Every structure is written in C-alpha cells, then in structure tokens.
Structure 1
Amino acid sequence: MSIKQYSLLEIKKELQQLNGKQAAELVLRMARYKKENKELLAYLLFDADNEMAFADSFKQDVGLMMSQLPSLSYQAAKVLRKTLKQITKYAKFTASKQVEVELLMNFCRNYVEYVDRRTSYKPLRLILTKQLEKIKKVIAKLHEDLQFDYTREFDELLDDAVTRLPWLYKHDLML
C-alpha cells in the first residue's frame, strides 16, 4: 500500500530531464522531510501530475487493508492508526486539501463498512469521531464550490454512519 519504489538510477534519469529551476524546487520541497525523502521525490516525479488518480489508487489500497481488519478491537485499532498515518503522509505529499478530504472520507466510509459496529472499545470509536471532525475542518478550508460538494457528501457519510453505528450521534458532528 505504499508508493512504488523507484531506484535511484530511475530517479536520477527523471531529474536529468528537468531544468535547473524545476529540480531546485523539487529538492527544496524534499528537504523538509527526513525519512520519506525517497517516497516524496518519487511521488513528485511520477505521480504529482495527476493527484486524483494517485488518491484513487491509494483509496483502493486502503479499502483492501480495511476489508482485512482483525476482529479483535485492539488489533483493529492498531491497523486503523497505521492506515491513518499513511493517509496523513500521502496527504502531506500532495499538499492538496481536496485530496486530503477524499482520502479521509474514503477512510471513514471503509470504517463504517468494515469495523465491528457493536464494539465498546473506546479508542476504536474515537478514531472515527476524530477523523470526522478533521474532515469538517479541512472542508472549511476548501473553495466554496468544493465546500458545497463535500459538505453534501459528508452529510451522506454521516447519515450512513449514524444508521449503522448505534453509538454515533449526528448532532455532535454536523457542519
């Protein structure tokens, strides 16, 4: 479920095709990160031209991971946190609030679909509520047209979650 790893030789060849200014911008952006330098550079060189296609392929990976969640609540929470860590990392790579909303809404849809609805494990429940709150904050930072579309999609997600999860209350999370 990670970005395809390219060899340094492939990255070097791609960098040689860029002019100096473009290469300098890529390297400066890459310098802000430590551990993920190679992944970020690979994203910028090979996937940045189509952010939504990148997000769609990552959403498929998230769906696959979520469909294989362990049945024990503690282990499921660990897998969900790991998935959220990757979502955060890739959203940071794209630097796009729209992609971040797409990834988080996809995560929440998968959560509603695959997580045990009867669980009383509070950390597992908090994962969803915190992500729904995060989506609200990110939607507020989008352009008005996108806000309208995503608000409607968020309300549908919230309605679905409230009907499926007896412990979730809509009035706490409304936009």
Structure 2
Amino acid sequence: MKAESIVIIKKELQHLPKEDLLQLCLRLGRFKKENKELLTYLLFQAHDEDRYIESIKETLDVQFESMNTDSYFYMKKTIRKILRQIKTFSRYSLTKTTEIELLLYFCERLNDLKPNIHRNRTLDNLYQRQIIAIEKKISAFHEDLQYDYRMQLEEL
C-alpha cells in the first residue's frame, strides 16, 4: 500500500465530521507508541513547554542513574538510547529551543558520569558531535538567545 501525501490527507480530513476525526485519532494512538506520545504532548503538555522540558529532564535523570557503568560498552548503548529519545521528544515540540535545552542538559549529564566518558574515543566523539550540533542550531537564533546558550555551552 502506498501512503498518500500530507496535502491529500489534509484535504480528506477537512471533509470528515468531528466524530470520524475523533475515531481516527484514537485509532492512530493505538498503533504506535510514538503516536500516543505525540497525542499526549499535544493534548496535555503543549501549552506549558517549560514543564514539558522539566518532565523530560526528570526522565533522563532516571535513565542516567540506572545506567550500568561497569563497562563502556553498556554505557554506549544506554547513552545512544537516551539520545534517540531526546531527538524524538524534541520533534514533538514546535519550539526550537526545546532541543537545545535538552541537548545541553544531556551533555552536562555526560560530563558528570563516572567513569569519565572522555577516556573512551567513541563516547567522546559522540559528545563532540552533540556540541557541534548545538552550535549549529544556536547560530539560527536571535542574538540574545545565542548569547545565553553560548554561555551555557562554554560552561560545558
């Protein structure tokens, strides 16, 4: 089955009654965890972006605390998983600063890990790539925001 374009889907949705739209949304939420997470964000958390960021940070804290630090191999797997989640959660938000704040927090937590991630080339490279990505994203913001985020970045 070939998926239709967003334009065609939008036109079709405009012709549906409210009841059918509700049923489609509920059915969409049943099939994939990401769909359910996006619906949850849009319905309950989109109005308070700061609280959304704080809840994600709390989730990240739990994952960092439960990380197996006996081996760099286990650390790498967990860190990559956390990074994937950050990317997913930041895609839900239309606010561009959300991803920057989450990535800055991620890098801050990486620096605090024991054993030190900078002793492992793979983890250090992952960290450096995130710093470069943050710098690129910051350059698209207004000068005041750029200054604030660059100060946070320098602290890392």
Counterpart-to-counterpart distance in 1, 2:117 and 2:131: 19
Q: 1:42 to 1:118 in 2, by over 3 A?
A: closer
CA RMSD of aligned residues (A): 2.3
Q: Which has the higher helix share?
A: 2
The equivalences for 1:80-159 within 5 A come to: 80-117=79-116, 120-157=119-156
Long gaps (5+) in structure 2: 1-17
**Partner residue, 1:36:** 34
Residues 1:59 and 2:57 are matched in the alignment: yes
1:101 and 1:139 in contact (8 A); partners too: yes
Partner-residue secondary structure (3-state), 1:95: coil
TM-score, normalised via structure 1 length: 0.67
Bigger relative contact order, structure 1 or 2 (CA pairs below 8 A, ≥6 apart): 1
Counterpart-to-counterpart distance in 1, 2:154 and 2:82: 23
For these two proteins, the number of residue pairs brought into alignment is: 130
Counterpart-to-counterpart distance in 2, 1:58 and 1:107: 11
1:68 aligned to 52, 66, 69, which one? 66
TM-score, normalised via structure 2 length: 0.74
CA deviation map 1:37-78 (0-9, x unaligned)? 121011101000011110011112212211232121011010
Counterpart-to-counterpart distance in 2, 1:53 and 1:143: 23
**Partner residue, 2:47:** 49
Long gaps (5+) in structure 1: 1-19, 158-175
Counterpart-to-counterpart distance in 2, 1:143 and 1:119: 32
Larger radius of gyration: 2
Counterpart-to-counterpart distance in 2, 1:96 and 1:61: 20
Partner-residue secondary structure (3-state), 1:116: coil
Question: What is the CA distance between 1:138 and its match in structure 2?
Answer: 1.1
Counterpart-to-counterpart distance in 1, 2:89 and 2:118: 29
Question: What is the CA distance between 1:118 and its match in structure 2?
Answer: 6.7
Q: 1:38 to 1:150 in 2, by over 3 A?
A: same
1:97 and 1:141 in contact (8 A); partners too: no
Percent identity between matched residues is: 33
